[in-house]
Amino acid sequence: MFVPATLLLLLCDLVLLSCANSTLPFLDDLAPLKVEFHSLNFRNVLHWRQHPGAPEDLQYVVQYKVYGEKQWSDAKLCQAIHDFQCDLSQETSDPREWYYARVQAISFKGMSPWIISSRFHPRWDTTFSPPQIRLNLTEQGIVVHIRPPRSPLQGRKQNRIAVTKLQKLIFRIYLIHNGIDKDTYETDGCSKKVLIKALSPKTAYCLQAVTVTPPFGRTSTRSPSTCITTA
């Protein structure tokens, strides 16, 4: 009887997980290394490194919990995986909470002890990308339209939630002429437009934007330059 390869892999995964809950010995030399969260725009991804010399059949299981809770929960999409990362954005979606995650490696030779991440706080530990900007020339000057970064979390209409709904942010706009910063403008995350006035006619200006996280003062990289010429 022919058995599809995908089914065989699934059966092997189930055998490993079953063994992990019963008789496999603990082996420190299987333990994942540098288990830590990396977070950008509230996309909270747990990363780790494979132990040197690990066997080819090595798989990983991931669990998480809210700080203060006793019970660990399985990350449903990260059971018996071969990747070295697990996206826990949905499991860690409350930016006010503290979280832990842990990883265990399993093979037919044995299983590692659980390796626990440092405590993770989405609002404190995430970093942000710069906003997207679009320029419009009017009689008053240059209007800068600001589009905040989006989180992976979805609202009621299944659209991705802007990070400004989850975190207070400031957007800083740089006005550049001939490669030199001529002026800067700031607006809070609630405002999506900045009007730049008193510009020289028939002059090319470029603009860039960054996201600033108060009160930490962390600043994103600058957005790509967007340029326009005044009338």
In terms of domains, do 92 and 163 share one?
Answer: no
Per-state percent for the chain, helix, strand, coil, to nearest 5: 10, 45, 45
In terms of domains, do 221 and 167 share one?
Answer: yes
Scanning the structure block, which residue is given the tokens 């934007």? Answer: 209
pLDDT confidence band for 155 (50 / 70 / 90): confident
Residue 15 confidence (pLDDT) = 47
| Range in 13-27, 121-135, 177-191 the model is least confident about | 13-27
DSSP character string of 135-165: EEE-SS-EEEEEE--EEEEE-TTSPEEEGGG
Instruction: Using the 3D structure, point to which of 72, 92, 125 is the last residue of a domain.
Output: 125
Contact 148, 163 (CB under 8 A): yes
Report the mean per-residue pLDDT for the chain: 89
- Residue 63's DSSP bridge partners are 74, 102
- CATH number, domain with residue 29: 2.60.40.10
pLDDT in tens, 206-217: 999 999 998 888
Alpha helices by DSSP H, 36-193: 122-125
In terms of domains, do 88 and 136 share one?
Answer: no
Token reading at 187: 């607006």
In the predicted structure, residue 225 carries a pLDDT above the cut 60:
yes
In terms of domains, do 48 and 92 share one?
Answer: yes
- Residue 206's DSSP bridge partners are 176, 227
- Residue 162's DSSP bridge partners are 150
Instruction: Tell me how far CA of residue 28 lies from CA of 79, 80, 86, 215, in angstroms.
Output: 20, 18, 21, 41
Q: The domain containing residue 151 runs over which residues?
A: 132-229
In terms of domains, do 52 and 75 share one?
Answer: yes
In terms of domains, do 100 and 143 share one?
Answer: no
Contact 56, 82 (CB under 8 A): no
Instruction: Using the 3D structure, point to which of 125, 144, 174 is the last residue of a domain.
Output: 125
Q: How many domains does the chain contain in total?
A: 2
Q: How far apart are CA 209 and CA 123, in angstroms?
A: 21
Q: Is 47 helix (H, G, I), strand (E, B) or coil?
A: strand
pTM: 0.85
Cβ partners under 8 Å of residue 190, min gap 6: 164
Nearest to 152 by CA among 138, 172, 141, 166: 166
Instruction: Using the 3D structure, point to which of 125, 144, 171 is the last residue of a domain.
Output: 125
In terms of domains, do 104 and 163 share one?
Answer: no
In terms of domains, do 106 and 159 share one?
Answer: no
In terms of domains, do 27 and 106 share one?
Answer: yes
Cβ partners under 8 Å of residue 5, min gap 6: none
Token reading at 193: 């437009």
Scanning the structure block, which residue is given the tokens 């009689």? Answer: 139
pLDDT in tens, 50-76: 999 888 889 999 999 999 999 999 999
Report the percentage of the chain scoring pLDDT > 90.
Answer: 77
In terms of domains, do 25 and 121 share one?
Answer: yes
In the predicted structure, residue 86 carries a pLDDT above the cut 60:
yes
Residue 22 confidence (pLDDT) = 53
Pairing of the two strands 218-219 and 204-213: antiparallel
In terms of domains, do 50 and 90 share one?
Answer: yes
Q: Is the dihedral angle over the CA atoms 138, 188, 91, 38 positive or is it negative?
A: positive
Residue 2 confidence (pLDDT) = 39
